[in-house]
Amino acid sequence: MNLCINCSRASCKRYYWERGPAWQVGILGTGKPSRPVGKSFAQKSAVFFAALCLALAAALPAAEINLPDMGSPADAVLSKNDEQQLGRAIMRQIRASGELVEDPQINEYINEIGHRIAAQANSDGNHEFTFFVVDNPVINAFALPGGFIGVHTGLLEATRNEDELAGVLAHEVAHVTQRHIARRIHATQRQSILNTAIMLGAILAGAAGAGGDAMQGAIAVAQGTAAQQQINFTRQNEYEADRVGISALAAAGFDPQGMGSFFEVMSRGITPHEFRVPEFLRTHPVSSARIAEARGRARNYEAVHTEDSITYGIARTRLLVAGEDMPDAAVAYFEREPYEYQSDVERYGRAIAYLRADRSMEARRIFEELANKDPEVIAYHIGLADAQLANEAIAEAEDTYERALALFPRNLPLTIHYAEALLQLGQAERAHRMLLDLLNNVPPTPEQVRLIAKAAIEAGEIAEAHYYMAEYRLMIGDLVGGVNFLRQALRVPELEEIQRIRFEARIDFIREFMTEEQLQRLQRSGAPG
């Protein structure tokens, strides 16, 4: 039975099963998974093929050893559903590290620009994307299986303009659409078979009395072959990601030179005597030939003149202020120039630095000026309301939020900030209703769902609080924790019958996606199952 998460009616058309794969099943994936029953086919096959290649290695060069064609190599090694599951598992570890940037304004921006590019590279709609920011000063970006794309704060701060940031995101999106991770695994499997054969041959030769030098030589050959094949495969992937990414970059309305521009900036920062190569260049090897090719390919598209969006500057500014350990240091940074000579973004940075340094009256004056000058910028309204709250002008802050919501209905960062303010003011029921309305209309983030749980418990909705904590645990990949929260919800006194039906149905649904190991953990945890 599919029931609405709010009204509990099966007839309601807003129940979250209908929200597409990511929201449809929490983040459980699509289709009923098969449970592991021992070694995988790949593991078993590797033993057989190693023995086979051992017999062939002496007679055939590496290029002549071919595995049978069994359809798409990527699909044979890692299905798209497997990629999703693997990506979610990695994301669970990243979240557990505490390094995710949870600022809703920054996250909305990076997802807005990321999905704008992905819409051009993912024309068949076969890939889902989630963009996130990692609090790490190292200049890097990366793509995970399942379309999860991370950007370090260090990279966002290192870009000189929005086109360069878009170029990096386009490159990472292309890694996903071209399924480079699955293809790399496939290539590594083939490579490992051959190398295993060579090294087994060396061991056998040594056992037959060929001598240690022969053994070490054969092992060195295997290692050298592996390294070269890995380098070649990486180069191939990088060039392909550049080609596909530049096309998507141009189609999304960005300067196609943005990708090559950032590569060039990174490479210029390295001298022959430097030992510390930026992480981005370690994970994305850049040569002069590659830069030239990216530049040349970009010239095939119409040149465009773009200006940085205000949200790009705001996102970088928020990171800069948050990155300062001492509030006064951020203030000093933005007071380097006289106020009258500063851009709106620099004035915004000065205002949020003042707010953090408990100089809320000064912050309020700046936010009022900015909001009156450009009322289309949501960040100015949020900043003004925050400053008013800090001044204990509660009625004015609520009025600012209400007027902003009238301009930008159900805007995610605006609604989140308002709900958090209402919780601080002891208005949990209003916050809860507002967050549920957002949930029914905007795909949620894990932190958004956790905030719903907080609002529910402060509003006295204990069973619903447990329910949303369960959904939060599911969204971060903890199926056992999700079921246990649902079991807690079932033990709440005076539980309504419709709630009991909904919670039990959700448990049964989740169990279909649990492995045998997870089911055993659930049983050991004491939750009936």
Give the type of residue at 478: D
Q: Which of 103, 162, 164, 242 is catalytic?
A: 242
Give the type of residue at 239: Y
- Paired residues of 152 in beta bridges: 134
The tokens for 518 are 């997870």
* Chain centre distance of CA 173: 11
CB 161 within 8 A of CB 313: no
Segment holding 120, helix H or strand E:
helix 104-121
DSSP states of 233-260: HHHHHHHHHHHHHHHHHHHTTS-TTHHH
Q: Which residue has the tokens 């960005």?
A: 254
Catalytic residue list contains 242: yes
Catalytic residue list contains 478: no
**Residue 519 to residue 97: CA distance in whole angstroms:** 25
* Chain centre distance of CA 106: 13
**Residue 236 to residue 243: CA distance in whole angstroms:** 11
Q: Which of 358, 371, 357 is nearest to 403 (CA)?
A: 371
Segment holding 141, helix H or strand E:
strand 141-144
CB neighbours of residue 313 within 10 Å: 18
Q: Which of 103, 162, 172, 478 is catalytic?
A: 172
Q: Which residue has the tokens 């940085």?
A: 308
Q: Which residue has the tokens 């009256």?
A: 361
The tokens for 351 are 């205002």
Q: Which of 164, 165, 125, 161 is nearest to 149 (CA)?
A: 165
Sequence-ordered list of residues with C-beta below 8 angstroms from that of 326, at least 6 positions apart, any chain: none
- Residue positions counted in the chain: 529
CB 198 within 8 A of CB 225: yes
**Active-site amino acid positions:** 172, 242
